[in-house]
Amino acid sequence: MTGQQNGELGGGPRSAANGLRCPACNRTFPLAHPEAFCPDCNRSLDITYDYDLAKELIGQLPFERRPQNIWRLAELLPIHDPAARQRVGTNSGFTPLLPAPRLAAELGLGALYLKDDSTLRPTFSYKDRVVSMSVARLLELGKEELGCVSTGNVGHATAALCARAGIPAYIFYPNRLEPTKAKLCRALGAQVCQLDATYDEANRACRQLAEETGLHFANITLRPFYSEGGKTEAFEIVEQLGWQAPDHILLPAAGGTLSSRIHKGLRELETVGLAQTAHTRLHIAQPEGCAPIANAILSGAERITPVVPQTAAHSLAIGAPGDAPLVIEAVRSRGGTAATVSDEEIFQAIDLLARLEGVFTEPAGGTAIAGLQRLAANGAIGPQDSVVVVVTGNGMKTVEDHPAKGWPQAVPCTQEAIREELERLRESAAPTPA
């Protein structure tokens, strides 16, 4: 691929990132500041941009000459070094926005779309977006190894993207995880360590480990850069809808990175003049057994009450999410709301989506679909509204956790036996609407 085909004209789109800011106290720092958290508030820092410069730079390169990957709007992403961008994430992003007419009909909705990150390369979850930013930042810093603490998909993405960049990866998992994801990390050459701890306990321990050893962590020491990858979801959704932002965006929430950065991405699109996005409502869904953000939104609380996760949706099992204040502000400022759903509803929603639209998602995606059912039923989302639901990960990675459904085995291979079995299968097949 040539430089122009990949959008790297004259060195490529330049980032307009110019610093770091604490979202709580507004203290600012240079972009090269080595710490990821505010020394006064202990909040994760946020990347700031020169939006006038970003608008000017965006106008210099037509979209038809830009790459169809996460670097498409590199002006609004925090990586300055084109060489770092070329080493990671070039196959990530621009996942399909799928019309979902059969699911829409089932729920009494109109224009319903699935932003299908279950197809995102290389590891089939939205985490490829955020981890790409961390790995690219690591390369900018000239470092050669990366760790992460993960409930599942971050580890898989870190292992794959580090393999692509040619650097070692160290994955720390909590005591509850989906084993397939750990096996995938090992297959990709990463080192894996499962800790006898919840995710929140493991996160605190790994933050201390990073301070003591100097090992960078994708979602701790590089968190301001990691988080910005979530904005690419918003950029793509709006462009794929012809630069018309939808009425609603609904997604599952764990640590809160994606929902808070979709809000930021929507705001930035309006700031640089690419789309009108102020009307888009943002909603989140969480499992009942781990719903600190949703509970705060629904109760009107200003801050979350941490919980001990009790859910089969392991990738959402974060009881004290660090970006919770940003999510609460994002949802409320956009006139959105939240839903909590049971594990049973989550797996039923996975089956519903698979049966009606042929998309098999993991429990996080099932949480979003179950949340959509709840919000459609209570009128929070109207029948004439345009809705995008983010399907964040692929169900093949969590198939071991999916409730078992039996099938005939050892059927004699005779025409009579096969015909009899076919008739029984036809009787038990669930009818689906056209």
pLDDT per residue over 263-298, tens digit each?
999 999 999 999 999 999 999 999 999 999 999 999
Helices first, then strands: H and E counts in the chain: 15, 12
At 312 the pLDDT is: 93
Quick check: 375 and 387 in contact, CB under 8 A?
no
Cα–Cα distance between 228 and 254 in angstroms, integer?
A: 16
pLDDT at 432: 59
Query: Pairing relation of β-strands 111-116 and 386-391?
Result: parallel
The pair of three-digit structure tokens given for residue 180, joined into one six-digit string: 């397939």
Q: Is the pLDDT of residue 303 over 90?
A: yes
Read off the pLDDT of residues 330-350 as tens digits, 9 standing for 90 and up. Answer: 999 999 999 999 999 999 999
Residue 6 has pLDDT above 70, yes or no: no
Q: How many CB atoms lie within 10 A of CB 335?
A: 14
Torsion angles phi and psi, residue 261, rounded to 5 = -85, -25
- pLDDT attached to residue 8: 46
> For 45, which DSSP code?
P
The domain spans of the chain are 9-91+127-226, 100-123+230-401
- Its pTM stands at 0.94
Task: Answer yes or no: same fold for 9-91+127-226 and 100-123+230-401.
Answer: yes
What pLDDT score was predicted for residue 3? 36
Chain length of the chain: 434
pLDDT tens digits, 188-227: 999 999 999 999 999 999 999 999 999 999 999 999 999 9
Instruction: Report pLDDT for 13.
Output: 78
Give the residue among 243, 247, 244 at the shortest CA–CA distance from 58: 243
Give the pLDDT of residue 198. Answer: 93
With both helix axes pointing from N to C terminus, report the angle between 257-271 and 324-333 in degrees, rounded to the nearest 10.
Answer: 50
Strands 169-173 and 146-149: parallel
Residue-wise pLDDT tens digits, 87-136: 999 999 999 999 999 999 999 999 999 999 999 999 999 999 999 999 99
Averaged pLDDT, 299-322:
95
- Whether the CA torsion 292, 297, 301, 302 is positive or negative: it is positive
> Per-residue pLDDT tens for 139-177?
999 999 999 999 889 999 999 999 999 999 999 999 877
Give the pLDDT confidence score for residue 429 in this predicted structure.
81
> What are the start-end ranges of the E strands in 35-190?
46-49, 97-99, 111-116, 146-149, 169-173
Residues of the chain above pLDDT 70, percent: 96
Topology (CATH level 3) of domain 9-91+127-226: Rossmann fold (3.40.50)
CATH 3.90.1300.10 fits 100-123+230-401, yes or no: no
* Whether residue 5 has pLDDT greater than 80: no
pLDDT-based confidence at 434, cuts 50/70/90?
low
The average confidence (pLDDT) of the chain is 94
Strand residues in 30-110 grouped as ranges (E): 46-49, 97-99
- Give strand pairing partners of 170: 147, 191
